Every structure is written in structure tokens, then in C-alpha cells.
Amino acid sequence: MEDGGFLWEACALRGIAASPLLGAAQKTAGRDLSQGGPAAISPGDMPTPESPTLLYKRATFVTSLPTARRYSPSHCWLEDRGDGVWRVGFTKFATRMLGDMVDHRIDATAGLPVKSGDVVGWIEGFKAISDLFCVVNGAFVSGNADLAKDIELVTRDGYKAGWLYEVRGEPDSLCMDVHAYRELLDKTIDKILEKQKAEETSE
């Protein structure tokens, strides 16, 4: 089986081994980014007055990134909820690699000491399945109970109601601001497109 594609590469920057099943998404991801018209921005991805955003576009991938949040190399966003609590969710880039959400499970329990890189659960998309890696050092607070009733919130309203879990502590040192994350997206998407072009040339 192939390696884990975009999410595997992002996790590898942290020395984390992602699920090998993510390899199933790699070729589909390349097609998604190089073919077809401009990608639509989902309602949950649109700017809101209380959440300033940065519009991002590369190839056919389009998203609006909340500027006040931090981002991990594994394509998670982190929102400061106060009192040392950080809410974590997937960016649109991550959900696009996984496809429509199917199921998930949070294994970590409230109060459990966690560190960056720990597996706190798993999530399954139509294209691939992935472990959920912690991106905060501290104590686990909770998963998002609403996802048990509507897992599609992760895709439909990923920056708001579709959050994944919360941890009280400090974000991993590799987390970055929105401008650094934009540069990471540029490099990641360009690398995949170059790889896909090379594969097409060799056929």
C-alpha cells in the first residue's frame, strides 16, 4: 500500500506515523487538486463578522482560514477558548483528503494527561481512515459529543460546530499562525501535483 499522502507527509514532519490506510486517498487527492473547475467554499467555511479569515486558493483548492487560530503541520486548527483550553478541529484541507465523514471515536477520557503526537481516537472518511493525533500538551477535556449525532459536521461546519476535541494545556511548538500555514499548504499541494505530473509522464 502507498504511503499516507498529504496527511502522512504532514504528520511525518512531526515524526508521527499516520494510518497506512490514508494511502488510499493519495491518488484521489491528486485528481481533486488538478482537475475540474474551482472548488466551492462550503457554508461552514465562509467568513463571519466575528471570525476574520484569509482567503486561500491553490490549483482548484479554495478555503477561508480563520486568522485568529493556530495551525498544526498535520492540518488541524487550534482555537483558544480561554482558561488554557484549546479546541481542535480539521482544516478543510484535511477533510478534503479524507472525503465525506463516515464515523469516528474518541478514546481519550476527561483529565487524561496527553502530549503532542498521542493518539486520542480515530476518524473514518469515504476516502481514508486516520488516527486522531493530539496537537496540545496537557490534560484532555472532551470530544465533541455532537459528532455522535451528526459526523458530517466535521465537513459541513469544520471551523465551528464540527470541532473534534478540546485539551487544556499548551499547543505543540510546531503549531503556526495562519500565514505560515498558508506557506505550508503551498508547499504540500505543489509537492503532490509535481508527483502526480511525474507519474503521468512515466506512464
Q: Where do the structural domains in the chain lie, given as residue ranges?
A: 5-202
5-202: which CATH topology?
OB fold (Dihydrolipoamide Acetyltransferase, E2P) (2.40.50)
Pair 34, 63: CB distance under 8 Å: no
- CA nearest 79: which of 147, 163, 17? 163
pLDDT band at 50 (very low <50, low <70, confident <90, very high): low
Residue 202: predicted pLDDT: 79
pLDDT of residue 199: 87
Phi-psi region of 69 (alpha: psi -120 to 50; beta: other; left: phi over 0): beta
| Separation of alpha carbons 122 and 103, rounded Å | 9
Per-residue pLDDT band for 11 (boundaries 50, 70, 90) equals very low
- pLDDT for res 56: 97
**What pTM did the predictor assign?**
0.77
